[in-house]
Chains A and B, each alone.
Chain A
């Protein structure tokens, strides 16, 4: 009996082999992963009365809200008098931060901006955890600041 319509798989195997070869040859060592990003706003600046009048009403800063990150805990402050410390940098700390920020967000719904001021020695991981909680609450204008330093002489 003769074979009818036999499929020749040899070229397919050749091409797959060349694909594997070039994939391995061009591998740069960089891993691919699903990444997410946080856009950083510029920190708020002091404006003169003339500059403030020139800005549109919605661009005017109506609340100065800041989250300070220290090695021993967080502190949430705003220009309307809030000054709330949250001790530690554990999971429960960030849950309490989220709850507090939800409350601030409810009190000042028109404000989308927050300034995060980490201490120098705080790990970057903890900074990202704070940014994550702020984003979960709905703050879109997140700026990273740093403590004031003496200018080099």
Chain B
């Protein structure tokens, strides 16, 4: 090889070295995308699911409509909760006397909390005072509790302004004996 050709090859090698592509590490990018996909799928599926209130042993049913995540009143054997807020004890609610002469079933402390919630919904949606709110209230009741307590909850919620009430229960599979019917 001539000296001129060697020099030309050396110059070309030097030029290529200047524009050499450095190695691209795609591993962190892939990891980040994996976590994004994970959280996207998790929030998509879990976000719409309604949660069972802690301590509530729900009854079961094979029918009903899908339960969505909404404002929930939970009644366990020991406490009554509105969302994540503990309102009062269940025994205390059962013993509470109404302070409304024409509404003997109303539970005053629960009424105060629900009324407060309904008022904030009214303010947010420009609903006049005294008008029922359209926001649904889900009730999750313990399967062993007597109906009198549930009827007091329902009546208290209605008097506070929640007219759209749903009872949330566990969904069970259709038994084989019923499936063929």
Contact = CB atoms under 8 A, between A and B. Distances in A.
Interface stretch (B85-93, B119-127, B148-156): B148-156
Contacts of A25: none
A51 interface: no
Interface in B44-77: 46, 49-54, 58-67
B129 interface: no
B98 to A, nearest CB: 6
Interface in B1-39: 25, 27-28, 30-32, 34-35, 38
Nearest to A153: B101
B170 interface: yes
Interface residues of A, number: 44
Contact of A32 (B28, B52, B62, B167): B52
B148 A37 contact: no
B44 to A, nearest CB: 14
Contact of A122 (B138, B146, B154): B146
B146 A19 contact: no
A125 B151 CA distance: 13
Contact of A124 (B62, B98, B141, B163): B141
8 contacts: A36-B64, A38-B65, A118-B147, A124-B145, A125-B144, A128-B143, A135-B64, A151-B101
Interface of A: 7-8, 11-12, 14-15, 19, 28-40, 42, 69, 118-125, 127-129, 131-132, 135-136, 144, 146, 149-153
